[in-house]
């Protein structure tokens, strides 16, 4: 029972991480546009920062998945992601003012601003995918199938995050309201993962002790 519940949770949280990554990336354009416009330079900067951040996150998450992978650590990824996203909400305007005054060139200004605002949260969110695969893989003979299904779910989350944010959320809510909702969702997901890990540990102690 616990194994199927854990697997379902991992898939749901992978979906959430994909949704959040693309939602935040799209909101990045809204955040930077009052300062640097919405030219191809700005979007090139945002996409570059997100791609590099995800690459780093995949590498770190893959390394961490080799050391006793468990739901507590997995849940901690979501809590840390929420924590490092909070400064973007609280101090985003101040950081943008600082970068805009220091770097007038929209190419490099938008690149530096994107890195300050989104690099850390995206690195942590990128760690989730490879760690999810490791939690789901029981038999190495099925690792490719599991990884494919996991990345399907995560990418589907990214696609829906893109549509939901661009078609609906930005029409009805302020950018910061959407970001706070993302923070709350990450905290909820991380908390559920940690609580389930504790329950699973207590269950194992009861039936093996």
Q: What is the pLDDT of residue 203?
A: 52
Q: Could you tell me which residue, 168 or 140, shows the higher pLDDT?
A: 168
Task: Sketch out the chain's domains with CATH numbers.
Answer: 2-208 (1.20.1250.20)
User: For the whole model, what pTM was predicted?
Assistant: 0.92
Q: How much is the pLDDT for 198?
A: 84
pLDDT at 96: 93
Interval 164-174: pLDDT, tens: 999 999 999 99
Average pLDDT, the chain: 91
The pLDDT value given to residue 146: 85
State residue 124's pLDDT score.
98
- Model pLDDT, residue 200: 64
Q: What is the pLDDT of residues 28-82, one digit of tens each?
A: 999 999 999 989 999 999 999 999 999 999 999 999 998 888 999 999 999 999 9
Q: Are 45 and 107 in contact (CB under 8 A)?
A: yes
Alpha-carbon span 125 to 23, nearest angstrom: 12
- The Cα–Cα gap between 49 and 100 comes to 18
pLDDT digits (tens, 9 = 90+) for 98-116: 999 999 888 999 999 999 9
Enter the tokens of residue 120: 């850390």
C-alpha 118/C-alpha 191 separation (Å) is 23
Instruction: Tell me the C-alpha distance between 209 and 174, whole Å.
Output: 52
Q: What is the percent of the chain with per-residue pLDDT over 70, rounded to a whole number?
A: 92
Q: Count H helices, E strands: the chain?
A: 8, 0
Residue 86: the pLDDT is 97
Q: Are 46 and 110 in contact (CB under 8 A)?
A: yes
**Is-contact 15 154, C-beta < 8 A?**
yes
């Amino acid at each position: 029972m616990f194994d199927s519940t854990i697997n379902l949770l991992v898939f749901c949280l992978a979906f959430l991480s994909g949704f959040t990554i693309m939602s935040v990336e799209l909101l990045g354009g809204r955040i930077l546009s009052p300062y640097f416009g919405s030219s191809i330079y700005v979007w090139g900067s945002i996409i570059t920062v997100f791609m590099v951040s995800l690459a780093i996150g995949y590498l770190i998450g893959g390394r961490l998945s080799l050391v006793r992978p468990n739901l507590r650590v997995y849940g901690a990824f979501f809590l840390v992601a929420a924590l490092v996203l909070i400064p973007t909400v609280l101090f985003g305007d101040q950081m943008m003012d600082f970068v805009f005054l220091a770097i007038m060139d929209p190419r490099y200004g938008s690149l530096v601003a994107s890195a300050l605002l989104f690099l850390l949260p995206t690195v942590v969110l990128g760690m989730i995918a490879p760690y999810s695969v490791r939690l789901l893989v029981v038999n190495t003979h099925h690792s490719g199938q599991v990884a494919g299904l996991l990345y399907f779910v995560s990418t589907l989350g990214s696609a829906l995050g893109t549509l939901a944010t661009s078609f609906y959320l930005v029409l009805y809510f302020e950018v910061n309201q959407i970001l706070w909702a993302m923070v709350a969702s990450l905290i909820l997901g991380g908390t559920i993962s940690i609580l389930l890990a504790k329950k699973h540990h207590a269950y194992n102690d009861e039936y093996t002790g």
